[in-house]
Amino acid sequence: MPVISFVQPKGGAGKSTAALVLATELAKGSKVTLIDADPNRPMVKWQKRGGEAANLTIVENDDEVALLDDIRAAAQTTPFVLVDLEGTRNLANAYAISMSDFVVIPCQGSTLDSDEASRAV
């Protein structure tokens, strides 16, 4: 099953929003697991504020070793696994990226965004 990770060191580039939009759209026709590995917990906060979508499961993750297990487990039970990663370059991001079929690096149209995007992987 495809694993799609979202990473971007620069805040405000739309990383979490892009992950959530794709997850909710995919969930209209398929089961989706969205792993919230961002320490700001945007997906968990969205869910606590009443955000929900049929077929969408949000998994909170704050452990780089458990992240691998969470991705593997989700890939065995749902057709789509999306991972919202922390906005910094770290070991957890490297693990998730290595397990991903596709990596999305959202970028606004500024030099600062593109400079930071190039540091994402």
CA 89 to chain CA mean position, Å: 14
Q: What is the CATH number of the domain that holds 19?
A: 3.40.50.300
Identify whether the C-beta of residue 19 lies closer than 8 Å to the C-beta of residue 84: yes
CA 118 to chain CA mean position, Å: 18
**Euclidean distance between CA atoms 2 and 52, whole angstroms:** 22
Indicate the number of domains in the chain.
1
Structure tokens, 119 = 């540091």
Across residues 2-27, what is the average pLDDT?
88
**What residues make up the domain containing 7?**
3-117
**Euclidean distance between CA atoms 100 and 82, whole angstroms:** 9
Identify whether the C-beta of residue 14 lies closer than 8 Å to the C-beta of residue 117: no
User: Is the model's pLDDT at 112 over the cut of 80?
Assistant: no
Q: At 90, which amino acid appears?
A: N
- Tell me which residue of 55, 38, 39, 56 sits closest to 47, measured CA to CA: 56
Q: How many CA atoms lie within 13 A of 55 on its CB side?
A: 15
Give the model's confidence band at 86: pLDDT under 50 very low, under 70 low, under 90 confident, else very high. Answer: confident
Cβ of 102: how many Cβ atoms within 10 Å? 10
Q: Identify the three-state secondary structure at position 57.
A: strand
Across residues 1-26, what is the average pLDDT?
87
Across residues 4-28, what is the average pLDDT?
88
Q: At 118, which amino acid appears?
A: S
